[in-house]
A and B are shown apart, each in its own frame.
Chain A
Amino acid sequence: MITLEQVIKELGSYDGRPIKIMEVCGTHTSSIFKHGIRSLISPKLELISGPGCPVCVTSALYIDKLVEYSLMEKHCVLTFADMLKVKGTTMSLTEAKAVGGKVRMLYSPLSAIKLAKEEPDTQFIIAAVGFETTTPIYALIMEEVIKSNINNIRLLTSMKTILPALTYICDNEKGIDAFLCPGHVSVITGSRIYEELVMKYQKPFVIAGFEGEHILGAVYEIVQQITEGSFHTKNLYPSVVSVEGNKKAQELVEEYFEEVDDDWREIGRIPSSGLRLREKYHSYDAGSSFAASQMDSPKGCRCRDVVLGRIHPVDCPLFHKVCTPMNAIGPCMVSTEGACGIWYKNGGKNQ
């Protein structure tokens, strides 16, 4: 039995070789700041953000399509708050709203069903964005839409899966020594999805929740594995994460969506990393498969390097000096899950 104090002491005084840990999920990025984790662990243990911000990696052309829909007569876009301020090639949904676009914020996509029934003459386009945690919710919407014969809801999808992104990073980014796996994605997928990554890349993959204790425990576990040279998937969130995950949720997703190759903003095409409505549900799709071109990033913007874990937001030359939440250049600053925005709002400019 080890105590929290001992864990903090050991991590604080760690003086072995430098270890770079990718914390994949935007909510982990926030939690790390919230609990002051970096101030407790040795500077030789580096926590760096990854691609776990679904809005940050959504193509600019997707946003353009949403903007287009919002400005169409008798149409209304329904989205989470995260999507509102990210710019497409011309404007964001917030800016579209200011020129008469119809955009409504959702806390729960299931309230979309209620809205559709209340306003049968409006075509509702749901911005179906997210990773595995949120994908089952869009599947639930589909189930209800079909069961209740609702004909004024369609999905514009930008759903992505995390495993291909982790594989991409392991293949292309050699500097990452270990992964802090996203806790709530793992609730749905199960811990087994990381086994193949451990076997192939011989690195620790540790699943943790979002309390300070969970994160410290995960860092400690990673240090142990690397010190001993023995790597495996470790689940430190067993209250909700099982080996197999939520089978019901997986089956529901499987029923409505299929795997496709997908373009990740700032990264490019990653095979089998996206989900789109199956052919038989094609009539509920609002045009999700459009050719996404790799848009040139604004000059100097290093969102790509942030999302791939190559640099911290503070290392981007635009961070704070030009790019701020009030004047965001890249998606990582404007999205609420984006690493740059989270670093900035937590006084990261002073770190």
Chain B
Amino acid sequence: MCVAVPGKIIEINGNTAKINVMNNITEADIRLVSAKPGDYVLLHAGCVLEVMKKDAAEELIELFQELGETV
């Protein structure tokens, strides 16, 4: 249901932000989050859904650390 992609906020202008997704700059609405330039965010349908608490690579490393602990 949810094609969403991570990107980085470059600048904020009121209710919209310019998001950099691997050097593609697109505008998105940021009213659903409290974010600042430099934050990594999740982008869906021209809207920022959430600020990322850690980056994707870090998350994968921790995922397997956690799974290892349940063994």
Interface residues of A (CB under 8 A from B): 1-4, 7, 25-27, 52-54, 80, 107-111, 130-131, 133-134, 136-137, 140, 143, 182-185, 187-188, 209, 211, 213-214, 217, 220-221, 224, 236-240, 242, 246, 248-249, 252, 337
- Which residues of the other chain, B, contact A221 by a CB distance below 8 angstroms? 67, 70
Chain B, residues 27-71, CB within 8 Å of chain A (1/0): the string is 011011110000000101111011011111011101111111011
Instruction: Report whether B33 and A246 are in contact in the complex, using a CB–CB cutoff of 8 Å.
Output: yes
B52, B54, B63, B66 pick with most chain A CB within 10 angstroms: B63
Instruction: Report whether A25 and B55 are in contact in the complex, using a CB–CB cutoff of 8 Å.
Output: no
Instruction: Report whether A2 and B64 are in contact in the complex, using a CB–CB cutoff of 8 Å.
Output: yes
Q: Is B10 an interface residue (CB 8 A)?
A: no
A184-B1 contact in complex given A239-B59, A246-B50, A249-B49, C-beta closer than 8 Å:
yes
Interface residues of B (CB under 8 A from A): 1-4, 28-29, 31-34, 42, 44-47, 49-50, 52-56, 58-60, 62-68, 70-71
Instruction: Report whether A182 and B2 are in contact in the complex, using a CB–CB cutoff of 8 Å.
Output: yes
Instruction: Report whether A187 and B63 are in contact in the complex, using a CB–CB cutoff of 8 Å.
Output: no
- Which residues of the other chain, B, contact A4 by a CB distance below 8 angstroms? 64
User: Within the complex, which residue of B1, B29, B64 is in contact with A217, where a contact is CB–CB below 8 Å?
Assistant: B64
Using CB atoms, name the residue of chain A closest to B64: A2
- Which residues of the other chain, A, contact B60 by a CB distance below 8 angstroms? 211, 213-214
Instruction: Report whether B32 and A252 are in contact in the complex, using a CB–CB cutoff of 8 Å.
Output: yes
| In the bound complex, CA of A237 to CA of B62 (Å) | 10
Q: Closest Cβ of chain A: how far from B25's Cβ, in Å?
A: 15
Instruction: Report whether B46 and A240 are in contact in the complex, using a CB–CB cutoff of 8 Å.
Output: no
Q: Closest Cβ of chain B: how far from A142's Cβ, in Å?
A: 12
- Which residues of the other chain, A, contact B59 by a CB distance below 8 angstroms? 209, 237-239
The 5 closest A-B pairs by CB, nearest first: A108-B46, A184-B2, A2-B68, A1-B68, A133-B2
Using CB atoms, name the residue of chain A closest to B31: A140
Instruction: Report whether B53 and A110 are in contact in the complex, using a CB–CB cutoff of 8 Å.
Output: no
What's the dominant secondary structure at chain B's contact region? Answer: mixed
A130-B64 contact in complex given A108-B47, A238-B54, C-beta closer than 8 Å:
no
User: Within the complex, which residue of A7, A133, A236, A248 is in contact with B44, where a contact is CB–CB below 8 Å?
Assistant: A133
Using CB atoms, name the residue of chain A closest to B61: A1
User: Within the complex, which residue of A3, A107, A209 is in contact with B64, where a contact is CB–CB below 8 Å?
Assistant: A3
Instruction: Report whether A133 and B32 are in contact in the complex, using a CB–CB cutoff of 8 Å.
Output: no
Instruction: Report whether A25 and B1 are in contact in the complex, using a CB–CB cutoff of 8 Å.
Output: yes
Instruction: Report whether A25 and B2 are in contact in the complex, using a CB–CB cutoff of 8 Å.
Output: yes
- Which residues of the other chain, B, contact A239 by a CB distance below 8 angstroms? 52-56, 58-59
- Which residues of the other chain, A, contact B66 by a CB distance below 8 angstroms? 236
- Which residues of the other chain, B, contact A185 by a CB distance below 8 angstroms? 1-2
Instruction: Report whether B64 and A109 are in contact in the complex, using a CB–CB cutoff of 8 Å.
Output: no
Instruction: Report whether B47 and A110 are in contact in the complex, using a CB–CB cutoff of 8 Å.
Output: yes
| In the bound complex, CA of A249 to CA of B2 (Å) | 16
Other than the given A52-B1, A130-B1, A221-B70, 4 more pairs (CB < 8 A) read A1-B68, A184-B2, A185-B2, A240-B49
- Which residues of the other chain, A, contact B44 by a CB distance below 8 angstroms? 133-134, 137, 184
| In the bound complex, CA of A337 to CA of B1 (Å) | 7
- Which residues of the other chain, A, contact B46 by a CB distance below 8 angstroms? 107-111, 137
